[in-house]
Amino acid sequence: MGMATDILGWFNTPYPFLSLEADPIFTIGSAVIGLFIVQSNSSLLLYHFLVGFEDEKSQFAILMSFINLGFGGALLRETLFTAIALLLSII
């Protein structure tokens, strides 16, 4: 929807649309999503480490949690510092 309004010229923003350096909504939203991914997968990993993981379903859940933890960490690495800089420039 946003891309269609941008192409048709209805949506003119003072910053480039979906730019990691300049779009504050996209950057801050991505940083919040990255924080949620890291927090939720870390708590799932801690739960499985405390309870134990003997069956295949638990081992698969741990594998997926480690993969998602890496994805969330990479998302935070790309967006967190830019989001903090954008928030500080607003304040």
Tokens encoding 8: 């048709």
Secondary structure (H, E, C), 22-42: CCHHHHHHHHHHHHHHHHHHH
Nearest to 19 by CA among 6, 10, 8, 9: 6
Q: Residue 80 CA to chain centroid, in angstroms?
A: 9
Q: What is the pLDDT of residues 32-89, one digit of tens each?
A: 999 999 999 999 999 988 998 888 988 998 999 999 999 999 999 999 998 998 889 8
